[in-house]
Structure 1
Amino acid sequence: MTHDHDLVLRPTAAQTEAALNPPPGRNGGDLVVETLAGLGATTVFGLPGQHALGVFDALRRSPLRYVGLRVENNAGFAADAYGRVTGEAAPLLLSTGPGALTSLAAMQEAASASAPVLAICGQVPVAGLGGGRKGYLHELPDQQASFRGIVKSVHTVRAQSQIPSAIAAAWKSALTAPHGPVWVEIPQDVLLAPAVLPVVTAPDATPDDLVPRPELTAVAADLLSRAARPAIVAGGGVVRADASGKLKALAEKLDVPVVTTFGGKGAFPWEHPLSLQSWLEDRHMTDFLEDADVLLVVGSGLGELSSNYHTFRPRGRIVQIEADLGKLESNHPALGIHADARLALQALLETVTERTDPTAEERVRQVLARVRDRIAAQDLTLEQRVLASVRRALPADAPSFWDMTILAYWAWSAFDPRGTNLMHSAQGAGGLGYGFPAALGAAAADPSRPVLAVSGDGGALYSVAELATARQHDLPVTWLIVDDGGYGILREYMTDTFGEATATELTRPDYVALAESFGVPAVRTTPDALETDLAKALATPGPSVVVLPALLRMFAPTHLA
């Protein structure tokens, strides 16, 4: 009797030849890049440092393309975006201590957004590990401890023979639902030592499927089939699982309205007659969802933003499909189904009974009309005009990346992404500086189409160094900077809370002159000229900057009845 685990993969003739006759001059870093290439990586991001130089030396002997950024956190954001748009693990090469710690905010965002980032970090030599008193440059007592509470898994290497397996295990972890960042540490001397191992040719890191339990999907299907007023909340898990087609099919089979969370933008077609769009920070939408007798929540933990600041009080039954076990029933009791969104939606598609609801589309129209009327009563014409200009200027298939800025807060609710996996922001963890470096990562993944980045002037100052990266790699990113002279949303929060704002006003550079000093063309625009100037910049090859001096306001808080 032959068991699957008894099967052995026999090397091909080419693999045998490479193993027996490795090229000269290899070191431990070559084992890293060979493993990455064998797993299917084509592009790596990062920043060199003393303890990681063995990997960077090996890159010149590798087919991998290296995109170097100027700040480790920005490199992490670029890898995050690459992972989001490709669905592949994005290697991020870092060095020890300050370099590693500078990437922490990016790792938190990747974890919050389920972006598969594979961070490979150098370490002090093996003799210095665990002590923290050897006096090595960049030494930390326990570097892993800084990341263990953020990343999905930590993988430590102590010898060259461990490198391929550790990286393959990390790759598998990053791509097993829910996707997320992982951390690999390799000491400096292990990377620098001559490699005596054969060339790495065929690592296996196939991610595990997270399959729903059939008794749970059977109950969920029955609830949905018999519901009088069902509704669906679609989160980022639908996008990460590439399940938007199955979501649409299920919604149409059940005739059920769908609202997408801010992280789930594009999970459901914006103009579909069953689309509630993304107005989750609106009491009218909260009321609609509270009235559902069965609410299917797919790929969302119903966190702060998705629950309208925890004011959502459901009266019906919740069915929650979630790949992240920690988010399952974390905010509301539910029929919790721990599963990949794609597999769970497929199971529901196969088991629900088709239902029709002649009132569904009209109820969708009514709630969206109430939302529009509320916004129209607030004298926010400029904000809506600016967002509409951005939408018209951006090609339908072009991705966009939004920093934590007032225009992005508008976009979460009001922007039509015109497709799945096209609109991304830092709303998972909420850190500043995401938009521009993330757009660079997306452009590195697919330089055939323009990419838009949107920042405020405050967030832009986190990322200006990456104008050099954009120019060096000639990446087709247009960066829209909305300049209101400070931290605009914090200014609003403080004024509303305390009557005046403190520490929100900023001295900032001439962004047009600054961009041009990097060799990046730039233009200062107006609300009236924005659409034309932005469209022209997006149509021009290579990087560009568009600066819009404007004081935008948020719509009024709507989580109160």
Structure 2
Amino acid sequence: MTRNGGDVVVETLEALGAHTVFGIPGQHALGLFDALRRSELRYVGSRTEVNAAFAADGHARITGSVTPLLVSTGPGALQTLAGLQESAAGSAPVLGISSQIPSAGLGGVRGGYLHELTDQLASFRDVVKHARVVRHASQIPSALAEAWEIALTAPFGPVWVEIPQDVLLGPASVPPVTSVAWSPRELHPRAELVEEAVRLLNGADRPVILAGGGAIGASAELLELAEKLRAPVVSTFGGKGNFPWEHPLSAQSWLEDWHTTEFLADADVLLVVGSGLGELSSNYRTFRPRGAVVQIEADLGKLESNYPALGIHADARHALRALASGVTARAVDGAAEQRVLGLLASVRERFSEQELDLEWQVLAALRAAVPDGTPTCWDMTILAYWAWSAWDPRGGAQFSAQGSGGLGYGFPAALGVAAAVDGPVLAVSGDGGAMYGISELATAAQHGSRVVWLIVDDGGYGILREYMTDAFGQATATELARPDFVALAGAFGVPATLSTPESLREDLAKAFAGDGPHVVVLPAVLRMFAPTHLEHT
């Protein structure tokens, strides 16, 4: 057969280093999907485009490289937007490749095409880092290489390329693609800024580091700097796992606790790495620094966007390496470690004053059952809110939808992670969020994905129920009819277990011992811990 534009796409993706692609076919994209069977690329198909986008997000985060997402025009493309928004917020390098209506109709020149949008690209420009329409097969290799490079230039993020149907189906005007050159732009710190930051840190009596999601991938440099400075490290929710949880300098992640907020504010020099100090990291903007702030941030728009600082526009890895080389190592006198112990003791004391035995019981059972090193994916549910602060990753990546806050992330993202790792993966959802991804049980069964899906069934949107009750005295539109999740999983051919708080550890352990997907349903109404930031505003 004659090679077509679809072949050029898959040849280019292979040359760029792709191994697995996600997505859903559609009428305009058939040339692209037909080309997949002539390639070595592994295809993982989802049941909705938003779930395919979440799966690609999970895969991109766990691999640290670009993950292609292939979809069709109009409704198929638009349904990826929620997933791409999360990828943008979480710096996941997803490469969205969408078909388009035939070239003759682009821009509304001719109307009446199926799935037609006058300007489909406009829907993506404010979500992704980069968006482009390809109009000829000869443009495909360069356009995809450009997008790949941009996705992997700090800060990482999603990119978008559209290719018209006739270009995908038409004969290729270029020879087979065997190699494609790409090189992400390295973002190094300016020397005078590093020099000033070193001066501030060397002169600090109480330095503290706040490590965000941008510090993921720079764990070795972060550890070296913290130990040389004897600086406690607080991890943001998106930065979990970038510093050893039980390290004597680890102040963990209790960012919604006033004691931690005060701990950060009391630093005479606070080094913020890979965080924009947004709503969650600033404890809903109650954080008021009393010392100097040094902010390392690869996203130029986030630099000093919330707090004045010595702003260093750089990749965290390069900046931390430069700072670690420049600062003077301090003697280990135990003072910083004692401050950390005091902080964590204050946090524990506050919790002891609240009736949260069930929540701690569930967390303990979960942590005991999940094997060390297991990646975890969390939906927007009360247990995930606890996990942001309380979960010890123990060497396993921790991903959640807290970047943009959309429902339905946990299970499809875990399927994407499972496509890249050998061991099991944990997904956690509430019953409300679970319904967004319930169709992906078919995907899990089809691919034999080793995902243990814990569904905490509290009968509705538990977080919104709690928020509305606190604010208005009662909740509206939060109660949900839902299926028998155990029976429903069985209908997909996926084993499932109805659990209790008392049997949860054993039930999860059995699920993790399996070699395929497993659903564990826990009927329980969990509560959030008291938000102490409200008492101090």
Task: Bin the TM-score by the shorter chain.
Answer: over 0.9
Maintained 8 Å contact 1:51/1:122:
yes
Aligned position for 1:483: 457
Give the Cα–Cα distance (whole angstroms) in 1 for the partners of residues 133 and 281 of structure 2. 36
The reply on whether 1:181 has 2:155 as its aligned counterpart is no
CA contact (8 A) 1:257 1:360 kept: yes
Structure 1's unaligned 5+ residue stretches are: 1-23
Contact 1:133 1:141 in 2 (8 A): no
Q: Which amino acid aligns with 1:412?
A: W
Matches within 5 A, 1:410-559: 410-419=386-395, 422-446=397-421, 448-559=422-533
The 1:315–1:132 alpha-carbon spacing in structure 2 relative to 1, beyond 3 Å, is farther
Match for 1:397 among 373, 379, 395? 373
8 Å Cα contact 1:132/1:142 also seen in 2: no
Aligned 8 A contact 2:104 2:110 in 1: no
- 3-state SS, counterpart of residue 293 of structure 2: strand
The AA in structure 1 aligned to 2:440 is: E
Distance 1:358 1:397, change over 3 A: closer
Structure 1 residue 407 corresponds to structure 2 residue 383: yes
How many residues were matched structurally?
Answer: 534
Question: Which aligned pairs between 1:310-321 and structure 2 lie closer than 5 A?
Answer: 310-321=285-296
The match for 1:136 is 113
Report what 1:126 is aligned to. Answer: 103
Structure 2 residue runs of 5 or longer lacking an equivalent are none
Can you list the C-alpha shifts for 1:149-182, whole angstroms capped at 9, x where unaligned? 0100012100110000000000001011000000
Q: What is the TM-score normalised by the length of structure 2? A: 0.99
What's 1:197 paired with? Answer: 174
Please state whether the residue corresponding to 1:191 is helix, strand or coil.
helix
Q: Equivalent residue for 1:44?
A: 21
Measured against aligned partners, the alpha-carbon deviations of 1:527-547 in whole angstroms (never above 9, x if no partner) come to 000000001101100111000
Aligned to 2:199: 222
- 1:249 positional shift: 0.9
Question: Structure 1's 48 and 373: CA in aligned 2 closer, same or farther, altered over 3 A?
Answer: same
SS of equivalent residue, structure 2 residue 108: coil
> Are 1:301 and 1:330, in contact at CA under 8 Å, matched by a contact in 2?
yes
1:129 match: secondary structure: helix
Alignment counterpart, residue 363 of structure 2, candidates 387, 400, 423: 387
**Alpha-carbon distance between aligned partners in 2 of 1:129 and 1:205, rounded to the nearest angstrom:** 29
- Indicate the residue corresponding to 1:8 in structure 2: none
| Range with greater deviation from structure 2 (349-358 or 92-101) | 349-358
Name the structure 2 match of 1:30: 7
- Counterpart of 1:180, as a letter, is G
> 1:332 aligns to what?
307
How big is each residue's C-alpha offset from its partner over 1:316-348, in whole Å with a ceiling of 9 and x where there is no partner?
100000011111101001000010000100000
**Stretch of structure 1 that moved more, 513-522 or 193-202:** 193-202
The residue type paired with residue 495 of structure 1 is T
Task: Tell whether the 8 Å contact from 2:138 to 2:173 is kept in structure 1 after alignment.
Answer: no
Query: What amino acid does structure 2 have at the position aligned with 1:396?
Result: D
Kindly provide the amino acid, as one letter, of the partner of residue 446 in structure 2. Q
Q: Which amino acid aligns with 1:537?
A: A
Structure 2 letter corresponding to 1:496: D
Per the TM alignment, residue 132 of structure 1 is displaced from its structure 2 partner at its CA by 6.8
Asked if 2 retains the 8 angstrom alpha-carbon contact of 1:132 and 1:139, the reply is no
Structure 1 residue 377 corresponds to structure 2 residue 323: no
Once residues 26 and 541 of structure 1 are traced to their aligned partners in structure 2, the CA distance between those partners, rounded to angstroms, is: 39
Out of 66, 74, 77, the residue aligned to residue 54 of structure 2 is: 77
CA contact (8 A) 2:228 2:329 kept: yes
Following TM superposition, by how much is the alpha carbon of 1:418 offset from its aligned partner in structure 2, in angstroms? 1.1
* Match among 267, 271, 289 for residue 296 of structure 1: 271
From the superposition, tell whether residues 132 and 149 of structure 1 become closer, same or farther in structure 2 (CA, over 3 Å).
farther
- The CA deviation at 1:489 is 0.5
Letter of the structure 2 residue corresponding to residue 493 of structure 1:
Y
Give, in whole Å, the separation in 1 of the partners of 2:8 and 2:19.
Answer: 15
CA RMSD of aligned residues (A): 0.8
What does 1:281-292 align with in structure 2 at a 5 Å threshold? 281-292=256-267
CA drift of 1:34 comes to: 0.2
Shift of 1:27: 1.0
Conserved 8 A contact 2:121-2:132:
no
* Structure 2 residue 228 is the aligned partner of structure 1 residue 231: no
State the TM-score, normalized to the length of structure 1: 0.94
C-alpha separation in 2, matches of 1:338 and 1:376: 42
Q: For 1:472-501, what per-residue CA distance to the aligned partner results, in whole angstroms no more than 9, with x for missing partners?
A: 011100100000000000000000000000
Structure 1: distance between partners of 2:407 and 2:126: 21
Following the alignment from structure 2 to structure 1, what is the Cα–Cα distance between the partners of residues 363 and 105?
A: 53
Tell me the distance in 1 between the aligned counterparts of 2:449 and 2:516: 5
1:210 alignment partner, SS class: coil
Structure 2 partner of 1:206? 183
The amino acid across from 1:150 in the alignment is V
Q: Distance in 1 between matches of 2:452 and 2:334?
A: 44
**Preserved CA contact (<8 Å) 2:201 2:269:** yes
**Whole-Å Cα distance in 2 between the matches of residues 358 and 293 of structure 1?**
18
SS in 2 for 1:122: strand
Partner Cα separation in structure 1 for residue 240 and residue 406 of structure 2: 19
Alignment check: 8 A CA contact 2:108 2:118 kept:
yes
Letter in 1 for 2:41: L
Query: Partners of 1:147 and 1:391 in 2: how far apart?
Result: 39
Other structure's SS at 1:165 match: helix
CA-CA distance at 1:226 after TM superposition:
1.1
Q: Is the 8 A contact 1:210 1:323 kept in 2?
A: yes
Which residue number corresponds to residue 135 of structure 2?
158
The CA deviation at 1:507 is 0.1
- 2:283 match: 308
Shift of 1:355: 2.2
Question: CA offset at residue 196 of structure 1?
Answer: 3.4
1:345 is matched with 320
Equivalent residue for 2:93, pick from 96, 116, 125: 116
2:174 and 2:403 map into 1 onto residues whose CA distance is 41
Q: Secondary structure at the match of 1:548?
A: strand
Identity, % of aligned positions: 69
